[in-house]
Amino acid sequence: MLIAEKHLKPGDKLPPIRKLAADLGVNPGTVAKAYNILTLRGYITTRGSAGSYVSNNACDLIRKNKREIVENDISVCIEKAKKIGITFDELLETIKEMWKDDGR
């Protein structure tokens, strides 16, 4: 998300796995797995002992995958709406109102 929200830009160095794990309070293996997935998908590059960096084509990948980026959040929202009995039309109206109130 930090790349998608432009907090991290191509060429930016990512924190070492152990430091990020400590900062987040998670197992270093979890961060290593995340870095591996991001590397396989082309969002970051790893330069051995020099560390991991945001790849030069990360922004292009994100632009191509915008829908995928938000699908998970939308799925969660839909499931919550269904559980509490909100109709599709009510959910859609809520989204429209929130979008409008956000100034976009």
Q: How far is CA 75 from the centre of its chain?
A: 15
What would the two tokens of residue 20 be?
A: 């990020």
* Overall domain count for the chain: 2
pLDDT in tens, the chain (104 residues): 677 777 889 999 999 999 999 999 999 999 999 999 999 989 999 888 889 999 988 888 887 777 887 888 899 999 999 999 999 999 999 999 998 887 65
Spatial separation of the C-alpha atoms in residues 74 and 41, rounded to whole Å: 22
| Co-location of 58 and 88 in the same domain | no
Q: Which domain holds residue 56?
A: 17-64
Does a structural domain hold residue 51?
yes
Kindly state whether residues 60 and 21 are assigned to the same domain: yes
> Quick check: 54 and 12 in contact, CB under 8 A?
yes
CA distances, 28 to each of 16, 25, 34, 41 (Å): 10, 9, 10, 20
Same domain assignment for residues 58 and 70: no
